């Protein structure tokens, strides 16, 4: 061993026997507070027999904020009236002549959302321009963001990323004028910021509207839809159907669309389009056509042997909900062993010759009912074997 190795061993002996780096604990290590609350974090040192010093630091070497105080002996760090900026890691560093040790506490500060709109509004835009309003929310936990239109319960289509929700119009219309609100919500609260948008359309821009927005019609009836349009020059009104041509049996007279003998396939969205030199405006009518049932039996003729099982199915088209009932034509009643199901099936496990006859299915809904017949022939068992199939 050379002298330098010996010296090194001696020094390490001195430290391991005579002195130790301090041992510390942090209390609490992770803490979450509401904005405005106060919190203390302790840095407790073991091994008081050796003199030591204590120091607190914020992570990233940030200076301690004005509301963060350290007790004279360094054992307690207190944050009064915690603010979002106080969030972070606090490190207690302890040294004595043998070395240094540190421990960290993590502080989360929860706070209700704040919302910033860009542009802030009020907004004045021209008909036909693209418009987008960005809503940025901050808060802890991260708030959810939602756009609402004042006076409407309809959900608006918006583009959302983690902390920004944007409402957009590729082309604004006069009817988009109104007050919009962005709501940000987290466990700590809800904040709403409003923006008013006025779409300036030149005075004469068209505005289409319909008095009746939803129509439920019964198959075969006649339906009329009327559209109102304001604007100068007087707008020209056209009717169309979303993703389909207008029904074959329709007429348009001025602003009124009439569809006669409506069928289920005529259900859908109808669009009134009012156009003039300033632009156009659309209004929508949703129509549902309801129909009475149309029933059929499957099979509608059946031959079975006595003792076999009989199965009949009643099928029906028509507006739901549909209900089914099985009967026998004439005076005879269903065999006591007959089972029926709510979806229109009839089952007789072991038919008898007396079960021969005509069976009737009645399908019903709130508009009407429909009947279908099935002819059932039950052959006596005795003849089986002598008869040829057919
Ligand atoms: C309404 O009319 C305008 C202009 O004539 C047209 O660009 C637009 O596509 C029409 N809308 C529908 C639903 O037909």
**CA of 338 relative to ligand 1 center, distance in Å:** 60
Residue 273 CB less than 6 A away from ligand 1: yes
Higher-confidence residue of 17 and 97: namely: 97
Tell me, what's the pLDDT at 84? 93
Tell me, what's the pLDDT at 219? 94
**CA of 273 relative to ligand 1 center, distance in Å:** 6
Q: pLDDT band for position 143 (50/70/90)?
A: very high
d(CA 193, CA 182): 5
Tell me, what's the pLDDT at 155? 73
CA 8-10-12 angle, to 5 degrees, is 70
**Fold match flag (24-111 vs 119-200):** yes
Q: Residue 296: is it exposed, middle or buried by C-beta count within 10 angstroms (0-12/13-18/19+)?
A: middle
Higher-confidence residue of 283 and 14: namely: 283
**CA of 268 relative to ligand 1 center, distance in Å:** 18
**CA of 280 relative to ligand 1 center, distance in Å:** 7
Give the CATH superfamily of 207-290. Immunoglobulins (2.60.40.10)
Q: What is the pTM of this model?
A: 0.46
For the CA of 273, the closest atom of ligand 1 is 1
Judge whether residue 4 has pLDDT over 80: no
Q: Write the CA distances from 231 to 29, 169, 171, 178, integer angstroms.
A: 68, 22, 18, 19
Judge whether residue 35 has pLDDT over 70: yes
Tell me, what's the pLDDT at 380? 87
Domain parsing of the chain, residue ranges: 24-111, 119-200, 207-290, 294-383
- Give per-residue pLDDT as tens, 311-365: 999 999 999 999 999 999 888 889 899 999 999 999 999 999 999 999 999 999 9
Q: Write the CA distances from 363 to 244, 288, 325, 345, integer angstroms.
A: 31, 21, 7, 11
**CA of 271 relative to ligand 1 center, distance in Å:** 9
Residue 240 CB less than 6 A away from ligand 1: yes
Tell me, what's the pLDDT at 366? 94
| Closest protein CA for atom 10 of ligand 1 | 273
Judge whether residue 5 has pLDDT over 80: no
Could you confirm whether domain 119-200 is CATH 3.40.718.10?
A: no
88-96 and 123-126 strand pairing:
unpaired
Judge whether residue 280 has pLDDT over 80: yes
Residue 280 CB less than 6 A away from ligand 1: yes
* Candidate of 237, 275, 284 to mutate for ligand 1, largest count of ligand atoms within 8 Å of Cβ: 275
Q: What is the CATH number of domain 294-383?
A: 2.60.40.10
Residue pair 313/298 in contact by the 8 Å Cβ criterion: yes
Residue 271 CB less than 6 A away from ligand 1: yes
- Give per-residue pLDDT as tens, 225-262: 999 998 888 999 999 999 999 999 999 999 999 999 99
Q: Of the ranges 12-16, 46-50, 269-273, 275-279, which is most confident? A: 269-273
Tell me, what's the pLDDT at 383? 53
**CA of 80 relative to ligand 1 center, distance in Å:** 62
- Using CA of residue 244, residue 245, residue 249, residue 250, what is the dihedral sign? positive
Judge whether residue 60 has pLDDT over 90: no
Residue pair 86/108 in contact by the 8 Å Cβ criterion: no
DSSP 262-305: --GGG-EEEEEEEEETTEEEEEEEEEEEE---EEEEESSEEEEE
For the CA of 279, the closest atom of ligand 1 is 4
* Termini Cα distance of the chain: 115
**CA of 282 relative to ligand 1 center, distance in Å:** 8
Q: pLDDT band for position 48 (50/70/90)?
A: low
| Closest protein CA for atom 3 of ligand 1 | 280
* Candidate of 241, 273, 277 to mutate for ligand 1, largest count of ligand atoms within 8 Å of Cβ: 273
* Candidate of 278, 280, 283 to mutate for ligand 1, largest count of ligand atoms within 8 Å of Cβ: 280
Tokens matching residue 115: 């919302």
**CA of 262 relative to ligand 1 center, distance in Å:** 25
- Give per-residue pLDDT as tens, 153-211: 777 878 888 889 999 998 888 788 899 999 999 999 999 999 999 887 667 788 898 98
Residue 226 CB less than 6 A away from ligand 1: no
**CA of 243 relative to ligand 1 center, distance in Å:** 13
| Closest protein CA for atom 5 of ligand 1 | 275
d(CA 344, CA 145): 49
24-111 belongs to which CATH class? Answer: mainly beta
| Closest protein CA for atom 12 of ligand 1 | 273
Of 152-156, 183-187, 290-294, 386-390, which gets the smallest average pLDDT? 386-390
Residue 114 CB less than 6 A away from ligand 1: no
- Give per-residue pLDDT as tens, 67-123: 999 999 899 999 999 999 999 999 999 988 888 889 999 999 999 999 999 999 789
Q: pLDDT band for position 300 (50/70/90)?
A: very high
d(CA 371, CA 16): 101
């Amino acid at each position: 061993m050379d002298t330098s190795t010996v010296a090194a061993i001696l020094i390490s002996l001195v430290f391991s026997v005579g002195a130790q780096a301090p041992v510390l604990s942090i209390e609490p290590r992770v803490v979450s507070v509401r904005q405005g609350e106060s919190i203390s974090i302790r840095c407790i040192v073991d091994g008081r027999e050796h003199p030591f010093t204590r120091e607190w630091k914020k992570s990233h070497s940030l200076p301690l904020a004005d509301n963060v105080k350290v007790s004279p002996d360094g054992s307690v760090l207190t944050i009064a009236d915690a603010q979002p900026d106080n969030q972070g890691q606090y490190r207690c560093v302890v040294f004595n002549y043998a070395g240094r040790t540190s421990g960290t506490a993590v502080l989360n500060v929860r706070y209700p959302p704040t919302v910033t709109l860009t542009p802030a509004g009020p907004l004045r835009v021209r008909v036909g321009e693209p418009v987008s309003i960005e809503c940025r929310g901050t808060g802890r936990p991260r708030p959810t963001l939602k756009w609402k239109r004042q006076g409407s319960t309809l959900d608006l289509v918006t583009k959302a990323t983690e902390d920004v929700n944007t409402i957009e119009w590729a082309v604004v219309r006069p009817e988009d004028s109104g007050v919009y609100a962005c709501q940000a919500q987290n466990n700590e609260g809800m904040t709403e910021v409003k923006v008013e948008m006025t779409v300036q359309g030149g005075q004469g821009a068209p505005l289409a509207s319909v008095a009746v927005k939803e129509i439920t019609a019964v198959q075969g009836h006649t339906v009329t839809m009327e559209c109102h349009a304001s604007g100068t020059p007087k707008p020209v009104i056209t009717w169309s159907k979303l993703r389909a041509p207008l029904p074959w049996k329709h007429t348009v007279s001025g602003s009124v669309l009439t569809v006669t003998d409506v069928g289920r396939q005529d259900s859908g969205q109808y669009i009134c389009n009012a156009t003039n030199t300033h632009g156009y405006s659309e209004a929508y009518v949703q129509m549902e056509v309801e129909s009475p049932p149309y029933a059929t039996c499957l099979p509608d003729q059946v031959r079975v042997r006595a003792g076999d099982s009989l199965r009949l199915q009643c099928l029906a088209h028509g507006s739901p909900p549909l209900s089914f009932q099985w009967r026998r034509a004439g005076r005879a009643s269903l065999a006591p062993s007959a089972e029926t199901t709510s979806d229109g099936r009839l089952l007789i496990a072991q038919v008898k010759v007396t079960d021969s006859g005509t069976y009737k299915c009645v399908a019903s809904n709130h508009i009407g009912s429909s009947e279908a017949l099935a002819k059932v022939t039950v052959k006596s068992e005795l003849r089986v074997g002598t008869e040829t199939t057919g």
